């Protein structure tokens, strides 16, 4: 599936799921803006070293000014924006804890990145989408929004908000030819998750037990779904959420 000459922004694109998505889109011919708080330039250089078209932009998605600058850089560098993959989020650094132990500050931190960050990125890319006559937004949500997993209520709620925002934006932006869909991963052994052994210890085994395909999930398992929503084959699909979790949840 070719994405030749398209321009894609991938937030949280320096590591894990984000880098895997950026790599796949670039391999399909897209010019990719790797956007991340840390490591964006190095990640883009890794892609460019393989002859792929990529540039890195340092951005904190909770900052309106930085997100607007990200969108301007994409247009300045590549002339347009066709695809926005909203992958940046807080998960791998979280410590599972009971609902009553969570603080308002923890809720605000998660929502600032996982929800407000998606809003800011969509808002920043919207003028470019309109100028191009359409575009694709792919929001990375999570299967936990459907399963209601315990011990991370703030994270679960944030990903439920992403799914609802996906539907609202699909309804509102369809008139401009902008398609908005979501990919909901199961528990994925990404770079960040590997750095949190407490999280791996608490979540990995239950995830394996609940999957029809009883193996570990890795970032590469998601890129096909992201590519599908970014490409021509999904041209009449919007407002949908595709759960990719090895059959742990049927949706």
pLDDT (tens digit, 9 = 90+) per residue, 33-47? 999 999 999 999 999
Per-residue exposure over 61-94, b if at least 16 CB sit within 10 Å of its own CB, e if not: bbbeebbbbbbebbbeebebbbbbbbbbbbbbeb
Q: Which domains does the chain have, with CATH numbers?
A: 7-244 (3.40.50.720)
113 pLDDT more than 80: yes
- pTM assigned to the model: 0.95
Model pLDDT, residue 217: 86
Residue pair 159/170 in contact by the 8 Å Cβ criterion: no
For 44-85, the pLDDT digits (tens) are 999 999 999 999 999 999 999 999 999 999 999 999 999 999
Per annotation, catalytic residue among 91, 155, 176, 249: 155
In the predicted model, what is the mean pLDDT of residues 159-176?
98
Query: Is 155 designated active site?
Result: yes
């Amino acid at each position: 599936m070719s994405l030749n000459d398209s321009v894609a922004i991938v937030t949280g694109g320096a590591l894990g799921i984000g880098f895997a998505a950026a790599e796949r889109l670039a391999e399909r011919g897209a010019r990719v803006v790797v956007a991340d708080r840390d490591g964006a330039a190095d990640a883009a250089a890794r892609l460019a070293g393989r002859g792929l078209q990529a540039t890195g932009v340092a951005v904190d998605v909770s900052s309106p000014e930085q997100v607007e600058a990200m969108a301007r850089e994409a247009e300045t560098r590549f002339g347009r924006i066709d695809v926005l993959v909203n992958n940046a989020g807080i998960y791998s650094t979280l410590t599972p804890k009971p609902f009553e132990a969570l603080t308002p500050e923890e809720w605000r931190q998660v929502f600032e990145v996982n929800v407000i960050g998606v809003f800011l990125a969509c808002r920043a890319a919207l003028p470019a989408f309109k100028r191009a006559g359409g575009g694709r937004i792919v929001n990375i949500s999570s299967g936990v929004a459907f399963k209601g997993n315990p011990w991370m209520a703030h994270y679960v709620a944030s990903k439920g908000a992403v799914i609802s925002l996906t539907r609202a934006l699909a309804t509102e932006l369809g008139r401009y030819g902008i398609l908005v869909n979501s990919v909901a991963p199961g528990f994925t052994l990404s770079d960040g998750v590997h750095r949190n052994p407490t999280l791996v210890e608490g979540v990995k085994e239950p995830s394996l037990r609940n999957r029809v395909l009883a193996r570990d999930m890795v970032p590469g398992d998601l890129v096909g779904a992201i590519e599908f929503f970014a490409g021509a084959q999904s041209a009449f699909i919007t407002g949908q959420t595709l759960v990719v979790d090895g059959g742990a949840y049927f949706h």
